[in-house]
């Protein structure tokens, strides 16, 4: 079985991709972490998971310290895999800078390796390795981590090649294990970055349809459906919460943010179409993405058209990849706005230029197809074309090194841990508050406010807060925790309905006598079912993978005997 073949985990191509990944991310080791507006959010989330790990809880429902102790929706509605990985790395090395570098380097290699394996479906490994290298070095891919520190999106961009790989294998081969591969990679993508999952879902559909064969369409469709269903089941512990609670997420409803308007982020849009304050979007972001797309398009076209023209060959072998490339490019442009306007789910992606991840993926494979004969062209009459192609490849690397990596703003390595400590004591993004929350709630950080009555805290954990309230007048006791419908309470062992104050903090009605209050966070029945389904699915996946390993070893031993 190819999925477990030792040839996939060795050889010069494997080690070349490791070297390219390490070199691409090495500046982070020496200069520190690239900064970005989302950096505090990612490290606050990672710290939440680390604190949960330390207390023996590997699946936190609520944060103990986030937003000055009020908690938030991040651990519930933000995909956990990228932050989980960072927290586990920190648990091992006890250094946020080194943990970040190790995680980013590892996933960078995974992204390049995934593209390499996908390209192997279309070309020999000696050519496919160029696709993996190009994907790692493409400016847009590196800009996700160096220019903006879109950490989770970058990790998702390193996982998504495996989904395309297994979609291709399912449509081209008849292997049950490719269905498992699709399930695992799709679940990993869902658990890493939702906008990329939406983008990927649209592109998987386009790519999959281009691969279907009339004679085998039922079998192919059936296997794809099984893989997708298993992937959804494996990740259901997360997306069930998203379905139930997305309407409770503040997003930009409480504090509007014009930056997130998808209509402002189409590429190659003339600056004249931006009005008033919206011009800053073009100057700060869109023009930069325009430039990166131009660099990438120049590289892809230079590495394909001369070979097709001079060698008089067609692109039939890569027809499905060209369709994917053209579609994803179209979705970044203003011409596709009618599609965005018609699909509300697509609008939640916020930035059309996020489709550049797919443009990079497909572009890397297309550009690599003929690069193995480039050296020959330097020795014959095609030398002028070889010089142009080589110059374009050099321009991509130079742009990535000079414009992306060199110009990045770095947080020195020795200050990373201090940054995490400081940000852990600050409020998080209002985007991840509940719809009931207002910033005024954070002005009073007293854990229990009961007027003239005296509170005595017995337990204060992420999902459990027990305390005593002395006798006095009837009071609504305020608890410094964001209101969320999953919070439940008992007073003197009797269930009582909690409320939200005018700023979104929890209020609990307490009678005049001495009272024992127990506040606890309870997952809904649907969420508990999702957790059960995920657990059973992962058990089944692991069982089949282990069984295959034993079968492979037994077959190998029998052959030797």
Higher pLDDT, 364 or 289: 364
Determine, yes or no, domain membership for 101: no
Give the pLDDT band (50/70/90) at residue 38: confident
Average pLDDT over residues 80-95: 94
498 & 358 share domain:
no
Strands (DSSP E) along 389-474, which ranges? 410-411, 448-449, 455-461, 464-469
**Residue % of the chain over a pLDDT of 90:** 58
- What Rg, from alpha-carbon coordinates, does the chain have? 26
Residue 529 lies in a domain: yes
The half-sphere exposure of 393 on its side-chain side, counting CA atoms within 13 A, is 18
The pLDDT of 32-43, averaged and rounded, is 90
Q: Is 272 exposed, middle or buried (0-12, 13-18, 19+ CB in 10 A)?
A: exposed
499-500 sheet: strands from edge to edge: 448-449, 475-482, 505-510, 499-500
180 and 132 in one domain? yes
Give the pLDDT band of residue 103 (cuts 50, 70, 90): very high
* Segment (H or E) for 478: strand 475-482
Q: Which residues contact 495 (CB under 8 A, 6 or more apart)?
A: 488, 489
The verdict on 157 and 267 lying in the same domain is: yes
Look up residue 14 and give its two tokens.
Answer: 């494997």
CA 180 to chain centre: 21
Rounded to an integer, what distance in angstroms lies between the CA atom of residue 394 and that of residue 272?
33
Q: Pairing between strand 33-34 and 455-461?
A: unpaired
> Rounded distance, CA 142 to CA 132, Å?
13
Q: Does any domain span residue 270?
A: yes
What pLDDT score does 1 carry? Answer: 43
Residue 46 falls inside a structural domain: no
What is residue 305's predicted lDDT score, i.e. its pLDDT? 85
On whether the CB atoms of residues 153 and 196 are closer than 8 A, the answer is: yes
- Does residue 394 form part of some domain? yes
Rounded mean pLDDT, 84-106 = 95
Spell out the residues 6+ positions from residue 68 whose beta carbon is closer than 8 angstroms to its own: 425, 426, 427, 442, 445, 480
CB 515 within 8 A of CB 469: yes
| Residue 212, both tokens | 């279907």
Does residue 95 carry a pLDDT above 60?
A: yes
Per the CB < 8 A criterion, the answer to whether 480 and 505 are in contact is yes
Q: Which tokens hold the place of 43?
A: 């490290």
Task: State which of 421, 447, 469 marks the end of a domain.
Answer: 421
Q: How far apart are CA 507 and CA 480, in angstroms?
A: 9
What's the mean pLDDT in 137-155? 94
Q: Which of 432, 315, 434 is nearest to 41 (CA)?
A: 432
Q: Which of these, 193, 191, 181, lies nearest to 118 by C-alpha position?
A: 181
**Would 70 be classed as within a structural domain?**
no
- Are residue 511 and residue 556 in the same domain, yes or no? no
394 and 539, same domain (yes or no): no
Residue 6's pLDDT is what? 45
At 314, the pLDDT band (50, 70, 90 cuts) reads low
Last residue of a domain, one of 421, 455, 474: 421
Model pLDDT for residues 496-538, shown as the tens digit of each residue: 999 999 999 999 999 999 999 999 999 999 999 999 999 999 9
pLDDT at 548 over 80: no
Q: How many CA atoms lie within 13 A of 317 on its CB side?
A: 15
pLDDT bin (cut points 50, 70, 90) of residue 285 is: low
In-domain check, residue 497: yes
Report if residue 327 sits inside a domain. Answer: yes
- What pTM, to 2 d.p., does this model score? 0.91
* Cα 499 to Cα 483: distance, rounded to the nearest angstrom: 7
Predicted local confidence at residue 377, as pLDDT:
82
**Does one domain contain both 198 and 174?**
yes
pLDDT at 275: 57
Residues whose CB is less than 8 angstroms from the CB of residue 435 and which lie 6 or more positions away in sequence, other chains included: 247, 248, 249, 250, 253, 254
Does residue 415 surpass a pLDDT of 70?
Answer: yes
Do the Cβ atoms of 99 and 53 come closer than 8 Å?
no
Q: Compute the Cα dihedral for 521, 525, 526, 527 and give only its sign.
A: positive
Mean of all residue pLDDT scores within the chain: 88
Q: Count up the domains in the chain and report the number.
A: 3
Give residue 537's domain range. Answer: 523-561
């Amino acid at each position: 079985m190819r999925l477990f073949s030792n040839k996939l985990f060795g050889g010069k191509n494997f080690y070349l991709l490791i070297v390219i990944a390490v070199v691409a991310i090495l500046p982070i080791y020496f200069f520190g972490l690239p900064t970005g507006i989302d950096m505090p959010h990612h490290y606050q989330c990672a710290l939440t998971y680390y604190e949960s790990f330390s207390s023996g809880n590997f699946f936190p429902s609520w944060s103990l310290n986030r937003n000055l102790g009020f908690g938030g929706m991040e651990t519930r509605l933000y995909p956990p895999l990228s932050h989980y990985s960072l927290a586990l790395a920190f648990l091992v090395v006890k250094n946020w800078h080194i943990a970040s570098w190790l995680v980013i380097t590892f996933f960078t290699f995974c992204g390049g390796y995934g593209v390499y394996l996908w390209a192997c479906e279309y070309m020999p490994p000696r050519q496919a390795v160029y696709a993996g290298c190009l994907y790692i070095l493409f400016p847009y891919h590196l800009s996700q981590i160096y220019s903006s520190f879109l950490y989770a999106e970058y990790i998702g961009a390193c996982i998504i090649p495996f989904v395309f790989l297994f979609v291709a294998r399912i449509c081209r081969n008849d292997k049950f294990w490719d269905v498992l591969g699709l399930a695992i990679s799709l679940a990993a993508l869902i658990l890493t970055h939702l906008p990329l999952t939406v983008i990927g879902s649209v592109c998987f559909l386009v790519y999959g349809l281009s691969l279907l064969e009339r004679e085998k369409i039922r079998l192919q469709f059936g296997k794809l459906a099984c893989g997708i269903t298993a992937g959804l089941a494996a990740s259901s512990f997360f997306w069930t919460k998203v379905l139930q609670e997305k309407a409770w997420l503040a997003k930009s409803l409480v504090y509007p943010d014009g930056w997130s308007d998808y209509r402002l982020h189409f590429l190659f849009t003339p600056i004249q179409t931006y009005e008033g304050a919206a011009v800053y979007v073009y100057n700060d972001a869109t023009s930069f993405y325009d430039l990166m797309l131009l660099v990438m398009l120049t590289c892809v076209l230079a590495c394909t058209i001369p070979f097709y023209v001079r060698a008089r060959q067609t692109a039939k072998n890569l027809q499905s990849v060209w369709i994917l490339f053209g579609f994803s490019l179209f979705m970044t442009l203003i011409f596709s706005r009618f599609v965005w306007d018609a699909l509300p789910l697509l609008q939640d992606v916020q930035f059309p230029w996020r489709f550049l991840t797919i443009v990079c993926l497909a572009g890397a494979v297309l550009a690599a197809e003929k690069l193995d004969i480039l050296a020959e062209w330097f020795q014959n009459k095609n030398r002028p074309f070889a010089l142009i192609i080589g110059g374009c490849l050099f321009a991509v690397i130079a742009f990535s090194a000079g414009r992306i990596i060199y110009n990045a703003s770095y947080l020195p390595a020795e200050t990373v841990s201090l940054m995490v400590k400081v940000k852990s004591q600050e409020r998080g993004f209002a985007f991840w508050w509940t719809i009931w929350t207002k910033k005024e709630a954070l002005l009073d950080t007293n854990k229990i406010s009961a007027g003239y009555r005296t509170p005595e805290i017995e337990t204060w954990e992420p999902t459990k807060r027990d305390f005593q309230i002395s006798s006095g007048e009837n009071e609504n006791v305020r608890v410094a925790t964001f209101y969320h419908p999953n919070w439940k309470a008992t007073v003197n062992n009797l269930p009582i309905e909690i409320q939200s104050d005018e700023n979104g903090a929890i209020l609990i009605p307490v009678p005049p006598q001495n009272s024992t209050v127990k506040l606890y966070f309870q997952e809904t029945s649907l969420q508990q079912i999702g957790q059960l389904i995920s657990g059973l699915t992962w058990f089944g996946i692991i069982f089949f993978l282990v069984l295959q390993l034993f079968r492979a070893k037994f077959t190998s031993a029998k052959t030797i005997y």
